[in-house]
């Protein structure tokens, strides 16, 4: 296995994490995904957010990745939203280094770029793409 996709919604783990919201949620996979030896990267490939009433720009972050040097946040993507319903498939994916060997429980947050707090949203769906790094020590942008 050199690559795989995870399709997620903010409601996927609501039974185990009742405090989950559409902009700040924890995912617990049904079984552990054990990454084969080597370094792995992750990118946000698809995103759908509804109810972004403030229509604000936000970061999609994940605890699976290391924080960025400048923002000190594990940013997968900066999203420029101008409507209450945002939907996009990214062909120009930004890959970030994965900081775990086994994927089971992790967090996703949609944070305002100004306040660094979760945005107001009604629902979130996203697809993450994982791939094995071609050359150790590099991250693809």
Given 3-state DSSP classes, what are the helix, strand and coil percentages for the chain, each rounded to the nearest 5?
0, 50, 50
Question: What pLDDT, on a 0 to 100 scale, did the predictor assign at position 3?
Answer: 94
Question: What pLDDT, on a 0 to 100 scale, did the predictor assign at position 36?
Answer: 87
Question: What pLDDT, on a 0 to 100 scale, did the predictor assign at position 136?
Answer: 58
Question: What pLDDT, on a 0 to 100 scale, did the predictor assign at position 141?
Answer: 45
| Averaged pLDDT, groups of 10, the chain, 141 residues long | 94 94 96 91 96 84 88 90 87 92 95 91 96 68 45
pTM comes to 0.89
45-68: string of b/e by CB count within 10 Å (b at 16+)?
Answer: bbbebeebeeebebbbbbebbeee
Rounded to whole angstroms, how far apart are CA atoms 34 and 69? Answer: 27
Question: What pLDDT, on a 0 to 100 scale, did the predictor assign at position 118?
Answer: 94
Q: Would you tell me which CATH number, out of the four given (2.60.120.1100, 3.40.30.10, 1.10.287.130, 3.40.1440.60), belongs to the domain 3-132?
A: 2.60.120.1100
């Amino acid at each position: 296995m050199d690559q795989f996709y995870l399709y997620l919604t903010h409601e996927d783990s609501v039974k185990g994490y009742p405090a989950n919201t559409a902009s700040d949620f924890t995912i617990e996979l049904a079984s552990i995904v054990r990454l084969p030896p080597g370094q792995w990267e992750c990118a946000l490939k698809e995103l759908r957010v509804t109810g972004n009433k403030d229509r604000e720009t936000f970061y999609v972050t994940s605890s699976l990745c290391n924080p960025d040097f400048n923002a000190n946040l594990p940013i997968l993507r900066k999203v420029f939203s101008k409507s209450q319903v945002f939907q996009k498939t990214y062909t120009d994916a930004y890959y970030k280094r994965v900081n775990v060997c086994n994927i089971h429980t992790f967090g996703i947050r949609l944070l305002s770029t100004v306040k660094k707090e979760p945005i107001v949203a009604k629902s979130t769906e996203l697809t993450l793409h994982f791939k094995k790094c071609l050359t150790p020590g590099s991250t693809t942008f």
